[in-house]
Amino acid sequence: MNKRITVECYAESLSNALKKVEKASGFKVLFTYDEVQAYRVSVQIKNKTVDKALSILLQGKPFKYVVNGKFINVTQIYDNSQYRNVIPSGSEMRTLTGSVTDGNGEPLLGANIQVKGTTIRSICDVQGRYHIQIPQSQCVVLYSYVGMQSQELLFNEGENNIERSVVMTENNTIGEVVVNGIFERKTESFTASTSVIRKEELMRNGSQNLLQNIRNIDPSFKIIENMEMGSDPNKMPDIQMRGQQSMPDVKNTYKGNPNQPLFILDGFETDLTTIYDLDMNRVETVVLLKDATAKAIYGARAANGVVVIETRKPVAGKFRISYKGDLNLTIPDLTGYNLCNAHEKYEVEKAHPTVQDPWYREQYLNSLLAEIAKGVNTDWLSQPLHTGVGHRHSLYLEGGDERIRYGVDLLYNDISGVMRKSSRKTFTGGFTLSYRYKKLLFKNQFNVSLNTSNESPYGTFSEYASLNPYWTPFDTEGKITKIAGVIGGGGLKQYKIGNPMWNAQIGMKNFSKYTSLTNNFYTEWQALENLKVVGRLGLSKKETGHEEFYPASHTKFINYTEEQFFKRGSYTKDDGEFMTVRMDITANYNFAIANQQFYFNAGFNLAQEEAENVSFTVVGFPNERLSFIGSGREFLADSRPLGYKTLSRELGFLSALNYSYEDRYLADLSYRTSASSKFGKDNRWGNFWSAGIGWNLHKEHFMKEAKWLRQFKLRGSTGYTGAQNFSPFQSLATFGYYQTQAYDNWVGSYLYALPNDNLKWQKTHDYNFGCDINLFGRINMRYDYYVQNTKDQVLALTIPPSMGFTSYMENLGSTQNKGMEFKLNAHLLMDVERDRYLSAFFTIANNRNKLKKLSNALKSYNDEVDKDIVDGKVNRPQLHFIEGQSMNSIWAVRSLGIDPATGHEVFLDRNGNKTTRWSAIDQVVCGDAMPKCTGTFGLNIDIKGIFLNAAFYYQLGGQIYNQTLVDRVENANIFFNVDKRIYDAVWKQPGDRVSFSYNPYVMTRPSSRFIQNLNELRLSSLNIGYDFKNNSFLKKIKLEQLKMSFYMNDVFRASTVKTERGLTYPFARSYSFSIQTTF
């Protein structure tokens, strides 16, 4: 105890301070976490004895310490008068012995054993053994240890010489906080609707894709399936949280997805691409901020929800290296395709001739039979596909001490898509360095990302789906031909159809790349024991590039005339540069008055975003060897270099208050005011606020005996948030310059876009009601009901061309979005002694939206889209803006089916009368693309290190317009391949009772006949592996961790609708073999 030590603590918990004493002194300091966690200390102990250091730390606190050899036991000092009647004087005692271990069988040195309601206690020795005298009367003994879940055992009167061995499990909720990217809140006293997802839960679903794993865990987080782009590794997903707040972007008003949530990475705003390419092994926690109380601190950017991601921080101690390697396979999924083979296509063309000349028709059909007789039956869908083989390597190094810590992370991810030569290659590297000096903490994070995305030179998948199976891609010598086939003839003009496989061998290019540099500096000053000031400065720069080169021999120029000879071949180049600067300062102050706890936060932020982009297309490249853009002949006809340069700035002030009374009655308040250059000069500032209340019912005195109820929190909140995912100059007068004429050597300018000085902030008013329940410490339930009313929607208003402009930015309408979420987690088996665990989960969500108020100007959009349908420009349902209707409504004319006598479709008009004439005014809502409910369910099994995690996804009650039946059956182009259902489901003669009527001269317009109920069930992920945690050989080879796993994504899908999925790029299933180790 005479050893001199130095310890510094600044507003740290007493438990952390005691751990520092332990490390500096060499003694083992034993204490009960639950007793010391509420106390915080700020001291500077320099060159003091261990005895003196402990006296300073515990001064004024109800604790004492006793030294026993190399152990120091810190215990709480009780007012023994409150126990004087608990154990009657002279009561007989009995002996209780046993051991306390963790889940791995390791003894828990210093575990506390206490007779509940008394001061009788003992601690475990180095073997985890304990010995304690307990009363002969019935009593409860409490077992506790820092970081473990406390356990209580009941001992009845009459039991003597008792032996009890206790196995303790980790407590993952100790001190749990919600990190919102600006400050922290204790989960227990926070009234907001949030979802905290920790690393262990994320990794159960595999480590391939962070966004997919979040979707499998939380029902509010949706990835909208892209039927066009499928599993293209270079296509960013469309993400929504709690449905659709903003109106669809029909006028290109928004900069990106108008319903995409805000992403915060380590306290700084970032983009979706960065999250998509993020190394999931770096992620420590993901917090979803859903309601106003949670997200209003982000004001104008938070209406769509906020996703806060915190990466792991370096841990003090010995140098550690962690590695994770993956071998990834992607396999095409073509289950939605139902195309004809060669003989079936021949029969289709025989039944539905494309030419009228009988002689030519006979010759043509005979030629097809001849090709079929040769064995030609090309499976075109398989030609551009392969099993993609990729790999990923993640390395993390960390170390340091209490003053200086460092971490270095490296990632290389090579994703190989199922379309040949399509890939996405990403390298990211970064370091974290933190330094603590007295009351100051400095931390710097630097990251660099390099990405190259290659599109397949084999073209789009839809090209292959259209090619006839009696065409062959090879000539008689087995070489790839340039021409796949010819259509037309017999009085019709002939067209050559190129073989898209040809293009993959002629040196074409289609790739994108970016380089991103990010530096985030963080400083923290513990000004007082209860006052902390945090400052942050973030700088990021991103350079992007995209190039597309098609030489003259590319099939897209196959039908060019001689006059267009020198226009064959094209090169498009697009370069962009983006620069962002963000800074904020926040003060955090907390204090207690009696049983009341207050947490107050105040701060301000500044941000500036700059963007510049230039693109142009050059034509005239005679062959593939001349692949330098300077070799081109001229710019594309009637074109010139295009680009934009934007600048936007934002300023904001923030305040927030969290209040709790005895951790029973809770309240949260927040207020943010922000100014943005994106809005009119008369409405620069936007004000956003939130208020929430909560009640921890389980902490009421009348609930003390309900030991089975571990948590029951009721909460409600309301408040405003905003959205500003718009063009930086949307409200400003924008000018263009005349480039082809001048007056007296002066260049004139013209007004390019009208200003709107009154353009307002788009605001969303949130209401949320929910509860959190924990039963028996094993069953967790969370329920939320929400309503979101968005007003002053910002859209481009169509105006008469006579005004000299086509559109004008205006606040045009309001929407309502409401729904519910329910999440259940149950620990069905927790056999720590035998190392067996089984848990299950279930989630369900429902969401509905409707248009509440629309301006007359916006309603004119309906007439525009109806005219496109009538004019034959589109053959699918279009969005209609009608008050009271959903933004996901499917508009069509009600159909009674195909008349068996005539083969004509019979409709119901708006008044319910039968008619064979399709009219735009008869369109009504015939379905809703939004499912009535979606969710996930699954289970997690862990038996002696062998683990299995399965997650299912389901959706029920929605509808889909099956466009495949329109494009490949009823409006099928017989010159190309078609769906097999045209074979026997099409009307041919009077009396046929069929679903479709093929007529090459009639375009099918939106009809309820093609609306189908869509119910789906799919096994979205399956993860199987083995953790070598129980194997003794790990210590022999000096490994802390070794884990191997096999992961599958989209294992199977069962659907009530058969439609082509992945038109431009097919869907795929993913398989991954992983190994993870730490040493």
Least confident of 541-555, 694-708, 855-869: 855-869
Burial track 696-713 (b if 16+ CB lie within 10 A, e otherwise): bbbbeeeeeeeeeebbbb
Residue 81 has pLDDT above 50, yes or no: no
241-273 residue pLDDT tens: 998 877 775 554 445 577 889 999 998 889 999
Position 729 confidence tier, pLDDT thresholds 50, 70, 90: low
Q: Write the DSSP symbol of residue 212.
A: H
- Rounded distance between C-alpha atoms, residue 668 and residue 601, angstroms: 11
- Rounded distance between C-alpha atoms, residue 755 and residue 729, angstroms: 9
Residue 881 has pLDDT above 90, yes or no: no
Domain coordinates in residue numbering, the chain: 1-77, 818-1079
Position 784 confidence tier, pLDDT thresholds 50, 70, 90: very high
599-608 residue pLDDT tens: 999 999 999 9
Predicted confidence at residue 8, as pLDDT, reads 80
Predicted confidence at residue 787, as pLDDT, reads 95
Predicted confidence at residue 18, as pLDDT, reads 87
Predicted confidence at residue 127, as pLDDT, reads 75
- Averaged over 783-793, what is the pLDDT? 91
Of 1042 and 124, more confident: 1042
Fold assignment, 1-77: Phage tail protein beta-alpha-beta fold (3.55.50)
Q: Positive or negative, the Cα torsion across 477, 483, 485, 491?
A: negative
Q: Mean pLDDT highest for which of 310-314, 379-383, 861-865, 995-999?
A: 379-383
Residues facing residue 853 across a β-bridge: 814
For the residues of 814-859, what is the DSSP string, one character each?
A: EEEEEEEEEEEEEEEEEETTTTEEEEEEEEEEEEEEEEEEE-HHHH
Of 235 and 1000, more confident: 235
Give residue for tokens 């391949």: 977
Predicted confidence at residue 833, as pLDDT, reads 65
pTM: 0.81
Three-state DSSP state, 80? helix
Tokens of 886: 């959903």
* Cβ neighbours of 95 (radius 10 Å): 12
CA 487 to chain centre: 45
Q: Write the DSSP symbol of residue 748.
A: -
Predicted confidence at residue 255, as pLDDT, reads 54
Position 934 confidence tier, pLDDT thresholds 50, 70, 90: very high
163-218 residue pLDDT tens: 888 888 655 443 466 778 888 887 888 899 999 988 888 888 776 788 989 998 99
Predicted confidence at residue 1039, as pLDDT, reads 83
Tokens of 1029: 């945690």
Predicted confidence at residue 930, as pLDDT, reads 92
Position 716 confidence tier, pLDDT thresholds 50, 70, 90: very high
Position 340 confidence tier, pLDDT thresholds 50, 70, 90: very high
Position 82 confidence tier, pLDDT thresholds 50, 70, 90: very low
Predicted confidence at residue 173, as pLDDT, reads 44
Position 84 confidence tier, pLDDT thresholds 50, 70, 90: very low
392-434 residue pLDDT tens: 999 999 888 878 989 999 999 999 999 999 999 999 999 999 9
Three-state DSSP state, 298? helix
Helix axis angle for 50-58 and 14-25, nearest 10°, is 180
Whether 902 contacts 889, CB under 8 Å: no
Least confident of 71-75, 332-336, 457-461: 71-75
- Averaged over 49-61, what is the pLDDT? 84
Predicted confidence at residue 955, as pLDDT, reads 95
Of 811 and 952, more confident: 952
Residue 957 has pLDDT above 60, yes or no: yes
Q: Write the DSSP symbol of residue 422.
A: -
Predicted confidence at residue 685, as pLDDT, reads 85
Predicted confidence at residue 591, as pLDDT, reads 85
178-190 residue pLDDT tens: 778 888 887 888 8
Residue 527 has pLDDT above 80, yes or no: yes
- Averaged over 653-668, what is the pLDDT? 92
Position 133 confidence tier, pLDDT thresholds 50, 70, 90: confident
529-561 residue pLDDT tens: 788 999 999 999 999 999 999 999 999 998 888
- Rounded distance between C-alpha atoms, residue 1004 and residue 961, angstroms: 13
28-53 residue pLDDT tens: 787 766 567 667 777 788 888 888 88
Predicted confidence at residue 315, as pLDDT, reads 75
Q: Positive or negative, the Cα torsion across 875, 880, 885, 887?
A: positive
- Averaged over 778-786, what is the pLDDT? 94
Predicted confidence at residue 778, as pLDDT, reads 86
306-311 and 262-265 beta bridge pairing: parallel
- Rounded distance between C-alpha atoms, residue 620 and residue 623, angstroms: 9
Mapped to the 3 state alphabet, what secondary structure does 487-532 carry? ECCCCCCCEEEECHHHHHHCCCEEEEEEEEEEEEEEEEEEEECCEE
Q: Positive or negative, the Cα torsion across 146, 148, 149, 150?
A: negative
- Mean pLDDT, the chain, whole residue set: 86
